[in-house]
Amino acid sequence: MLSFLLGVFISSFFNLDFFAIYSVAIAIVVIQVSIYYIFRRDFLIKVIIFSAISFSTGFLFFSYQNTKLSSQILPFGQDKEFSGVVSSYPENEGNRQQFFLHVVDYKAKLLIEAGRYPEFAYGEKLKIKGKIEQPENFFDFDYINYLKRYSVIGIVKNAKIEIVSKNNGNRILSCLYTFRRKFESTIKKNLPEPESSLAVGILIGSKEGFTDEIMNQFNRTGITHIVALSGFNVTIIIVFLSALLLGVINRKTNFVISIIFVILFVALTGASASVVRAAIISLLLAFGATIGRRADKTNLILLAATVMVAINSFVLRYDIGFQLSFLAYIGLVYFSNILIKFFERRPLKNIPKTIQLAVTETLSAQIIVLPLLLTTFGRISIIAPLTNVLILPIIPLSMLFVFLSAIIFFLLPSIGHLAFLISYLPLKYVLLIAKYFSALPLSSIKLKGSWQIILAVVYSLFIGAIYIYLTKFRWAKKSIA
Amino acid sequence: MGKKINSIKIYFLIFLAFLAIAIWTVYFKEPDNNLHIFVLDVGQGDAILIQKGDYQILVDGGPDSKVISELGKVMPVEDQEIEEVILSHPHADHVSGLIEVLKRYKVDKVGYNGIDYNSGVYRDFLAEIKDKNIPTEIPMINKIESVFDQGKITFLWPGNNAQGYKDNLNNTSEVFRFDYGSFSALLPGDCEIECWQGIIANNKNLIANVVFLKVAHHGSKNGTTEENISIINPKIAAISLAKDNKFSFPHKQTLELLQKIGADIYRTDLNSTIDISTDGEHWWKK
């Protein structure tokens, strides 16, 4: 599986035409397969050849998906009139809204950028008069490939849009999105800004509605991930559910209910890579717990990554959320049990377990995503471990409060508003922490150009060396002694 | 099982603690008896909030939903009601933010100049009002409206004549004077030359010698003339605009005129949100 991912990754650097290479490539695969059968007694050769086969498959796979997407024929730059169905939950930013439109005539998905009002909704059939443009990369951001990850190669801006009809989408998705809209507007009606955006952000993950000022504070203190949905949210949902249901029903039913809720949640939030990652892994873990077997986490990570890349091979290289999410999880799996050992020493031993866990989990995720953050954003937050430890324990609480407040508001609107005041406090706390810590002079540093890469490489080698030292040599020494 | 009940108890206690703190902060906070005029920093546009306790009058909403976060900063946490919204005129840098305001806050009434104007945002604004069944009013010239204990709004322009000035929407701006004790304020929207001429002809004495002026049209030279500024003679002048805006507001002439008259000048591009407070006798900028 590792070599399959590697194949996709390497392939993404070459913009190859699938149809030009496939005859040669398939021949190679056939040869590989036959070698595999000839030498199937020899374990080493078997492993090598098997890796080679997966590598080639991965390589082919990416170029196939890439070629298929690039072969869409769109009338770029011409004034056209066409109609399509809104296929995503429209997102607002400032005075604009963005959504995907599925156009049957072109057999393609387009990104539509329109004014904020009137607000469009999922499943609406729209008649559009305008120009389809090709996306362009800006600054150092690879916008073209970013959009390809969503299977989009055309953008329509400032077009004339008319609504033809409603409810042309998937029934279940329509219901979910209507619920989401209602939920968001309830929060927004009852909490002032920026608390309301934060409430929406931590529950269903959106950076919508934040001012640049707040976003900047979050980046400086390294807590942006709380509003970019992560595995954290999914885990919290599963934990809450099982806490609520355990004892009432048996494990199996509990597991089935968890699956349903997690899948609904993934759909509700637009299936971003990090949520899908978290959903796959936590469901597999829950499955393991249900049937009473412990899963090997390394295999789990590889399986989740392979499934996701097989479905959409662009996520591997062009989706920062995918990369961050997997790296953070890898950090959690491999580093946290090393870090927790520091707390076995005397003076630290008395610190409560919850804080110990918060510190180690934050640190282990931070340690490993750091080089990636460095190369992509060029900014690293130095106080991130501290702010995260201060904030993360509050997050599940605020999620619960916001959720409860919304339910109380639905049931009893008259006291619902008061209920929201309760969720105001933890949210305010998060914002205050971000505000004060971002104002510290050395809260974060910014790096430019080649320094980013040099530092990232040096850092990765350093961490790798420490890891090997800690896991191999130190324990080895101990066992001898 | 016992452990589980215990943890539920703990969560319940935490919940109650938060509830208690929430109620305390709302009901036992220091009451603010002063009146505030906030010229909100909404970028290139206008949004002015007149607030006394939990009573608010919002004049315009700026060019986007930034007004929401600005309102969040200055309004009491538990207050989700804005008693009155006044739209000066339908240009996008005044009306756009109001749509989100109508969506999020309970707005009790809307005053505007009633003009027909074909723009998407303005249509959406009117549609939202209709959708929410909010009462609207086109205030007549010289109409006096009493607000909270001793506040008074006197409308000066354009009454129901807005349609006659539709060639330049800025001249259809709702212009009104606001009084609170011996404090007075003039909010002229984007009022330009024709509009000022009309007001001076009808109600010269009502715009004379006010304490606070929201400088017309973001500090454009058409909004502030030697004639009108010498009548208004403000002690405090506030300009609402964005840094490096494409119109190169504020114009040099405007700033010079205001300096000559001796007004304290505050600008949202330099000072961010401007908070003018008064108890009816004294006034100060925070």
Å between A155 CA and nearest CA of chain B: 22
Contact between chains at A118 and B18 (C-beta distance less than 8 A): no
Contact between chains at A95 and B96 (C-beta distance less than 8 A): yes
The DSSP secondary structure of A326-343, one letter per residue, reads HHHHHHHHHHHHHHGGGG
Cβ contacts of A95 on chain B, cutoff 8 Å: 63-65, 96
What is the residue extent of each domain of chain B?
32-285
**C-beta separation of A204 from A210 below 8 A:** no
What are the CA-CA distances from residue A23 to residues A14, A16, A17, A36, A337 (Å)?
17, 13, 12, 20, 48
Distance CA B282, CA B286 (A): 13
Contact between chains at B26 and A417 (C-beta distance less than 8 A): no
Distance CA A208, CA A221 (A): 19
What are the CA-CA distances from residue B272 to residues B185, B234, B267 (Å)?
20, 20, 7
Burial of B129 (0-12, 13-18, 19+ CB in 10 A): buried
State CA B280 to chain mean position distance: 19
Residue at A85: amino acid letter: V
Cβ contacts of B25 on chain A, cutoff 8 Å: 425
Distance CA B150, CA A276 (A): 59
**Nearest by CB to A421, which of B64, B77, B127?**
B77
Contact between chains at B72 and A397 (C-beta distance less than 8 A): no
In chain A, the residue whose alpha carbon lies closest to the alpha carbon of B16 is A422
Contact between chains at A424 and B77 (C-beta distance less than 8 A): yes
Closest CA relative to residue A237, chosen from A265, A197, A198: A265
**C-beta separation of A434 from A225 below 8 A:** no
pLDDT at site A103 = 85
Residue-wise pLDDT tens for chain A (481 aa)? 555 566 555 555 554 445 555 556 666 666 666 666 666 666 666 666 666 766 777 777 777 777 777 777 777 777 888 888 888 888 887 778 889 888 888 778 888 888 877 888 888 888 888 888 888 777 667 788 788 878 788 888 888 888 888 888 888 888 888 888 888 888 888 888 888 889 888 888 777 778 888 888 888 888 888 887 666 777 777 777 777 776 667 777 778 888 888 888 888 887 778 888 888 888 888 787 777 776 677 777 888 887 787 777 777 777 788 888 888 888 888 777 777 777 776 666 666 776 777 777 777 887 777 777 777 777 777 788 788 878 887 888 888 888 888 888 888 877 777 778 778 888 888 898 888 888 887 767 776 666 666 776 777 777 777 777 666 655 545 544 4
Contact between chains at A209 and B65 (C-beta distance less than 8 A): yes
Tokens of B15: 């919940």
Tokens of A424: 């105001």
**Nearest by CB to B26, which of A189, A194, A421?**
A421
Q: At which residue do the structure tokens 């030697």 appear?
A: B226
Distance CA B247, CA B225 (A): 18
Distance CA A218, CA A226 (A): 9
Q: How much of chain B is helix, strand and coil, in % rounded to 5?
A: 40, 25, 40
Å between A424 CA and nearest CA of chain B: 8
Q: Which fold has domain B32-285?
A: Metallo-beta-lactamase; Chain A (3.60.15)
Burial of B30 (0-12, 13-18, 19+ CB in 10 A): exposed
Within 10 A of A343 (CB to CB), how many other CB atoms are there? 17
**Nearest by CB to A422, which of B19, B64, B69?**
B19
Asked whether the bond before A396 is cis by omega within 30 degrees of 0, the reply is no
Chain B interface, best mutation among A163, A193, A248, A254, by max B CB count within 10 A: A193
pLDDT above 60 for B4: no
Å between B3 CA and nearest CA of chain A: 11
The β-bridge partners of B111 are B86, B137
* Average pLDDT of every residue of chain B: 87
Cβ contacts of A243 on chain B, cutoff 8 Å: 4, 7
In chain B the first and final C-alpha atoms are separated, in Å, by 57
* pLDDT tens digits for range B211-237: 999 999 999 988 898 888 888 889 999
Residue A5 contacts by C-beta under 8 Å, 6 or more apart in sequence? A58, A302, A305, A306, A309, A316
- Half-sphere exposure (CA, 13 Å, Cβ side) for B166? 11
Tokens of A320: 């920062």
Residue at B201: amino acid letter: A
**C-beta separation of A196 from B71 below 8 A:** no
Contact between chains at B104 and A188 (C-beta distance less than 8 A): yes
Cβ contacts of B18 on chain A, cutoff 8 Å: 401, 422, 425-426
Distance CA A154, CA A77 (A): 10
Å between A197 CA and nearest CA of chain B: 10
State CA B207 to chain mean position distance: 18
Chain A interface, best mutation among B23, B68, B99, B125, by max A CB count within 10 A: B68
Distance CA A348, CA B202 (A): 79
Collect all residues from A whose CB is shorter than 8 A from any CB in B.
94-95, 115-118, 185, 188-190, 192-196, 209, 211, 214, 243, 246-247, 397, 401, 417-418, 421-422, 424-426
